[in-house]
Chains A and B, each alone.
Chain A
Amino acid sequence: MPLRLLKYAFSRDYPVTGDIPATPDLKSSYDVVIIGGGGHGLACAHYLSKYHGITNVAVLEKGYLAGGNTARNTTTIRSNYITKEGIAFYKEGVQLYEEMSQELDFNVMFSQRGQLTLAHTEATLRSFHLRAEMGKHAGTNIEVVDAQTVKDLSPHLNMDEGGPLEIMGGLWHADGGTARHDAVAWGYAAQAARRGVEIHQRTEVEGFETDQGRITKVRTNRGDIAAGQVMIAVGGMNYDMAMRAGVELPIRCYPLQAMVTQPLKPWLHTLVSSVSLHTYLVQSSRGEIVIGGGSDPYQLCSTRSTLDMKEHLSEGATHLFPFLQGVRLLRQWAGITDMTPDYSPIMGASPLKNLWLDCGWGTWGFKATPVAGKYMAQTIANGRVAPILEPFTMERFARFELLNEMGATAASH
């Protein structure tokens, strides 16, 4: 890649390469139909075409590429979860981000600057110890740090010594980072398209025809198509899409909101997250401070954003970094997140033989874009759920084997 960049810099006409071909006509049948052109669908298409030789693939996207939650997310990438299944899975996700720019020959601006989660109470600190020990056991970079180290890592923080929100310590996850969300999706799309995957934008799936436990047709606004295998990865629409195939998922939709400030000079060098304040901050490569928090307090299928949340996030952010008072907000937005009861995703098989699920990504799925793509592709290519995904299948609910990641997810994505 560096060579190519250099060559480009010395070229005379700075040629524009159209990475993603215009939407072609729909064929009548594909080996694999991927519903949803977000990061997850596109990553799966990449892995199918590059590692499994499956290129007769269509990605169907109702709007424009990666315009769903991939476009709205705050790009926290981390593996400091608490279940051993979760940590193993997300850890590989982080590793794949480390190699992603090479893998895709596309700069995804992965910036592994570490995530600092703050404890304002003894109870939070105790839960951090458990997370740190689970993480160390699985080989991730994670440790509990004292207040002084917190200060050293993020010198601008208001430690609130003696106050009600005094920072007692933190969970320091040196593996944590961020990446450019558009680049991730775009990189996968470009790679997949180069190998023959068809990317159909403005192609909305409206329903299915099924026969003897299989999907026989995928109905779209541009006509019906037959498919060998079908994968659902439509973000906030996963519940509805699965219902159209008669599959009932334990998912509820909640809005998740975020906002950004005007660009500032670089000063916030880590990702900072506060459990008690339900606020997290990261400075983007453009200098904007991206601020996120918890989900809306009740279920709703709407991407409206609210003054309440803006006030709440502003309060949290200005408490942590008082000098942010007076900084202007540029944008506020929301995405519909598909929340599961245990804050873990639903991946793998469905009751229909050729329908595969990459759903329930809720508020935390961007970090899993590469690893979910890799193993969903393997699952579809082999017709068998990849071992690393087995704990995440929807049958876990019937077996009462939940993977509870609520505490490691709710405030810090």
Chain B
Amino acid sequence: MKILTCPMNGPRNINEFQCFGPVKNDPDPATTSDADWARHLFRVDNSRGVITEWWRHVPSNYFFLAERNATTNEVIRTFTPQDAEARP
């Protein structure tokens, strides 16, 4: 089985995890047009290169981020939202 490394729980079988899809930006519902809001809801990064996704380790309900190549399925790194903010 493929192994994913949870920043909190360490390396685990991938079936302990749930993928929440590529990270989206957070538009302000008050100022976003209907068309842009629809795009925000329904359009997801489907590029074939490296995508950054939300994942959840289900038994501990811990959410974190992963960079994964959407073609080779190689996981480049997993990290916490705090790590992401700390990077320039």
Q: Which residues of A contact B (CB under 8 A)?
A: 239-240, 248, 250-253, 297-302, 304, 306-308, 341, 397-398, 400
Contact = CB atoms under 8 A, between A and B. Distances in A.
B46 interface: yes
B34 to A, nearest CB: 7
Given A397-B38, A400-B38, A299 B46 contact: yes
14 contacts: A248-B43, A250-B42, A250-B44, A252-B21, A253-B46, A297-B18, A297-B19, A299-B19, A300-B70, A300-B71, A302-B71, A341-B41, A397-B41, A400-B38
A142 to B, nearest CB: 30
The 7 closest A-B pairs by CB, nearest first: A298-B19, A250-B42, A397-B42, A398-B38, A252-B46, A341-B42, A301-B48
B32 interface: no
A304 B73 contact: yes
B84 interface: no
Contacts of A397: 38, 41-42
B72 interface: yes
Contacts of A307: 1
Chain A contact residues: over half helix, strand or loop, or mixed? Answer: loop
B30 interface: no
Most buried by A among B19, B46, B53: B46
B6 to A, nearest CB: 15
A398 B35 contact: yes
A302 B72 contact: yes
Contacts of B39: 248
Contact of B71 (A239, A301, A400): A301
Interface string B55-71: 00000000000000011
Nearest to A255: B73
A400 B39 CA distance: 10
Given A300-B70, A308-B15, A239 B34 contact: no
A299 B43 contact: no
A216 B21 CA distance: 36
Contacts of A400: 38
Contact of A302 (B15, B21, B42, B73): B73
Contacts of B72: 302
Contacts of B70: 253, 299-301
A340 to B, nearest CB: 8
A297 B39 CA distance: 23
Contact of A240 (B1, B15, B48): B48
A252 B44 contact: yes
Interface string B1-45: 110000000000001001101000000000000110011011110
Nearest to A306: B2
Given A298-B53, A299-B19, 4 more contacts: A250-B42, A252-B46, A301-B71, A400-B38
A73 B12 CA distance: 32
A301 B51 CA distance: 12
